[in-house]
Structures are given as C-alpha cells and as structure tokens.
Amino acid sequence: MEAKTVRRKRNGFSLVELLIVVGVVVLLVAVTLPGLKVAKERARRVVCLSNIHQFILGLQVYAESNKSRLPQAGMESTFEFLARKYDMLADNTGSEKVIFCPSLGRPFMEKKTGFSKTLTCGHDGNDNRENMYIGFNYLGGHLNAPWPLAGAATAQWSSARLTTCKATMPIITELNIWSVTNEKTVAPHGKRGPFRLAGDYMNTGLGGITSGQMGAAGGNIGYIDGSGHWKRIDETHIYRVSINDDVTEWFSTW
C-alpha cells in the first residue's frame, strides 16, 4: 500500500516573515518621515506669510480710521504690543490668530505674557500700560526709533508711523530673535520646523546663540503695501530690536 503524503495547511506568517515585514515598515517610515516634516514646514511658511498679509491689512484698516497713523507699538521691543491696541488689532484683522506665527507657541500664544510698565514717552507718568508678546516683529509706530547701533547689530531700521510712508518699508518680520543677556533664542523656521529644545519657544539657557546658529532657515518679510516674501537666513542683516533701562539687548534678522 502506498504511503500518503500529508500536507499541512499554513496559517499566517512565520516569525521570520513578520520580522521582515516590520523591518520594511520601519525603514519606509525612517525614509519618509523627514520628507513629511520638510513638507509640513513648507506649509507653515505659506500660512505664516498669509498671516503677515492679513496682519498688514488689519493695520491698514486701523490707519484708515486714524488719519493714516499706524498703531503705536510697545516701547521696549519690536515683539511687544500695547495691550490697549491689541484687541483693536485683533478685531481689524478678523482673528487674533493672524498676529502669531503658526510655528510658535508659549509664551507668544498667550495674551498676557507681557509686563506692566509706566511709560513716560508721550504719556502721563502714572499711565500704566501692559505690553503683550506677539508672534512677529512689528516695526511700525515706534516713537523712539531708530535705535542706535549696538552689539551684534549690522544695520538700522526705520519705523513707519503712517501708511503713506514708502510702500516697500518692512512692517512685519519673522521672530528670529535672540538675547545674550537673557540667554534666549527664537527660531520659528528651521528646515524641518520650529525649535523648542526645552520648556517654551524662547529656548532659554543656550547662551543667547543667534537664530542662524540654532538652525533657522530664514523668515518672511511683510511690507506696508501688503506684499511679502521669504528671505534666506544668509541673505539677512542683523538689527537691534529692543531698548530699555536695564540694557537687555535683543537682536533679530531680516
């Protein structure tokens, strides 16, 4: 009598086959993830430029009702804004979200991260006004600009106070800022996204290295006429963007 060969039916994969499949999946993720991060960062830059455009439109709406005058800025730095003007600006832009770069979070996304200070330049000495951190450098309405060159600054900027100023004057720029005395650095646009190494987006404790040294790829610039464009970090100049009594220097690049 012939012996019958019994064939067992296989169900599923062997351990070796499963390991191979898992390895291939891990490899594909490793290859595609950096590309996804780069694509996401490119999208952020587009949204950021759109926000800057909307921000400028809000400034223009404000100016139309105020004899072409742009809103007054905070007196200490370009990324501070007077609280009494903040809500008005948010109304004119249609949403306070456009006042922030989508790459940045705390402390820039919180409405009350500034500090109270008695202003004396053009105001009553007892008139306390709270400043707020916004998500861009606002270069308009600075009554005490231009500030003298100091430290790392290689160029000066002028502050437009009227919308009738030269149309190609920068009015909003990305928040590539740093301070050696505060040991803080902000870089919203690296090749694969913003930098948040510890805590918040101020990146405290790095000695105040420049945004470029941290890895910033560049930033958007918006002009009085509403136009704007992306500028690589190696094409920019360094500007002083703060002035106060305790010599806490902040610098930025655009």
The DSSP result for the chain, as a single string, is -PPPPPPPPP-S--HHHHHHHHHHHHHHHHHHHHHHHHHHHHHHHHHHHHHHHHHHHHHHHHHHTTTTBPPPBPSSBTTEEEHHHHHHHHHHHS-GGGGS-TT--TTTTSTT-S-EEE--SSS-TT-EEEEEE-SSEE-S--TTPSPPP-TT--B------BTTS-TTSEEEE---EEETTTTEEE-S-BTTB----BSBTT-TTS-S--HHHHT--EEEEEETTS-EEEEEGGG--EEE-B--TT----EEE-
For residues 42 and 150, what is the distance between their CA atoms, to the nearest angstrom? 34
- Checking DSSP bridges between strand 228-232 and strand 218-223, what pairing results, if any? antiparallel
pLDDT by residue (tens digit) across 10-20? 566 677 666 67
Q: Considering the domain boundaries, does residue 5 fall inside one?
A: no
Taking CA atoms, 6 is separated from 3, 9, 177, in Å, by 9, 10, 75
In the prediction, which pLDDT does 245 show? 54
Q: Considering the domain boundaries, does residue 6 fall inside one?
A: no
Q: Considering the domain boundaries, does residue 243 fall inside one?
A: yes
Domain count, the chain: 1
Range 157-177 average pLDDT: 94
**How confident is residue 129, by pLDDT bands cut at 50, 70 and 90?**
very low
Higher pLDDT, residue 19 or 39: 39
pLDDT by residue (tens digit) across 54-79? 999 999 999 999 999 999 887 788 99
Range 153-167 average pLDDT: 93
Q: Considering the domain boundaries, does residue 1 fall inside one?
A: no
Q: Considering the domain boundaries, does residue 159 fall inside one?
A: yes
CA triple 199-200-201, angle to 5 deg: 135
**How confident is residue 145, by pLDDT bands cut at 50, 70 and 90?**
confident
pLDDT by residue (tens digit) across 187-236? 999 999 999 987 889 999 888 999 999 999 999 999 999 999 999 999 99
Domain that holds residue 227: 16-253
Cβ–Cβ under 8 Å, residues 156 and 146: yes
**Does residue 140 register a pLDDT over 90?**
yes
Closest by CA position to 229, among listed 189, 162, 170: 170
Q: Considering the domain boundaries, does residue 56 fall inside one?
A: yes
Q: Considering the domain boundaries, does residue 61 fall inside one?
A: yes
pTM: 0.79
In the prediction, which pLDDT does 114 show? 39
In the prediction, which pLDDT does 95 show? 83
**Does residue 82 register a pLDDT over 80?**
no
Higher pLDDT, residue 27 or 170: 170
Q: Considering the domain boundaries, does residue 4 fall inside one?
A: no
**How confident is residue 238, by pLDDT bands cut at 50, 70 and 90?**
very high
- Tell me the average pLDDT of the chain: 82
In the prediction, which pLDDT does 33 show? 54
Can you name the residues that pair with 222 across neighbouring β-strands? 172, 228
